[in-house]
Amino acid sequence: MTIDQNILITGGRAPVALELARLFKAAGHRVFVAESAEYHLCRVSSAVEASFLVPSPRHQPQAYIQRLAGLTEELNISCLIPTCEEIFYIAAGLEHLSGCRVLAPCREILAGLHHKGEFIAWVRSLGFAVPETTLISSAAEWYRTQEIAAADGKQQVYKPAFSRFASKVILPGSGDAAESRSQKQRQIPPPSGISAAAPWVAQQYIKGKAVCTYSIVHEGSVVAHAAYDSRYRTGRSGASVYFEHLDHPAAQEWVQRFAGAIGFSGQLGFDFIESEDGILYPIECNPRATSGIHLFTPEDGLTEALLNPGMLVQTGEVLIPRSGRRAMLTLPMLGCGLKPGRGGWSNWRRALCGAEDVICRKGDQRPFREQFRVVYAAQMSAWRHRISITEALTEDIEWNGEG
């Protein structure tokens, strides 16, 4: 068992950061949070010793790293754990954070995993089955790609090479046959700003079941793993808001094979489509914390996988969620009731009543109220910058391939 440590978590706005803080607190560690948003979930959590407002990693990357370096020294931090896309800026400044262990690989590896076109090319080069994926860097390429797909009778998904929460994804129509034929004949105009610096990808649309994973990996060995489906999402293609563990050995085997091939260390999440013939097709990768964390309880020992993964590698143990916990983000889950999708309203109601809210927990209820402040602040930012509220939630931390 790892002795009590001082832990610094970044990205305190994210529900997964709040979950990690609670897990570390339950394991006897002291948790501190560094966040560039004024209001965030971890700010008011009883699991957090103190929260620090820091510069924006995207807009002030040098000042951000300097502040983190100062905090790691002042607070005697043993381990710094990024949870969101601030990991890219932390990875670029690792030489300034040498006073503690940082759960982040080099940015070159992160970038290759985060870029939706480069990731698929990387996976293909290792011999895995992948969906056909085309990188698009201009309006001319955009139209040409659609013409080729229409001529071949193929359906495609379009999305930015750098994006999160499935924002801006363009899916093929889901209506009747007449609607589908009409959409095949009608070209979609290219997105504004598409270029070599801001490319998109066109990806083969594969029918099947969505499977998501979260893993902790140490030097190519998986030491903790969870798989879950995407039954309820924000919109047709948005982020998952309901989490139930799947017993999916093939997904765990896939992650182990890929992580071993590239020698990865850190947190790693994948989105798959499992086709009707049982083939797992990777759609994209999130080289950071993902919502599978919500399936773990303190008894599962996830903090040991983060702080002492070498011991688990030696024993060959892989930690998985064992409690049968079902978790959800209650507010967006309520919205899913308007369009409950497969299974209908009765299954949605059963899922809603049988899951635990990841924000409001007994003994730590203030984050539930804080989320309304977070949403309000994001709405103000969205109006100010003329972007969506989803984009406003990550505007100051996201990474889109910048040097």
Integer Cα distance of 306 and 267 in angstroms: 9
pLDDT surpassing 80 at residue 177: no
Task: Give, in words, the CATH class of 132-204.
Answer: alpha beta
Task: Convert the pLDDT of each residue in 365-382 to its tens digit.
Answer: 999 999 999 999 999 999
pLDDT digits (tens, 9 = 90+) for 270-285: 999 999 999 999 999 9
How confident is the model over 149-159, as a mean pLDDT?
92
Residue-averaged pLDDT of the chain = 92
CATH code at 6-111? 3.40.50.720
How far is residue 385 from each of residues 56, 341, 389, measured CA to CA in Å? 16, 33, 10
> How do beta strands 6-10 and 79-81 pair?
parallel
Q: What element of type H or E holds 174?
A: none
Ranked by mean pLDDT, the top range of 219-223, 320-324, 339-343 is: 219-223
The pLDDT-based confidence of 237 (bands split at 50, 70, 90) is: low
Q: Please list the residue range(s) of the chain that carry CATH number 3.30.470.20.
A: 207-357
Residues of the chain with CATH 3.40.50.720: 6-111
| Confidence band of 239 (pLDDT split at 50, 70, 90) | confident
Check: pTM over 0.75? Answer yes or no. Answer: yes
The CATH T-level fold of domain 207-357 is D-amino Acid Aminotransferase; Chain A, domain 1 (3.30.470)
Convert the pLDDT of each residue in 2-46 to its tens digit.
Answer: 679 999 999 999 999 999 999 999 999 999 999 999 999 999 999
User: Would you give the distance in Å from CA 101 to the centre of its chain?
Assistant: 22
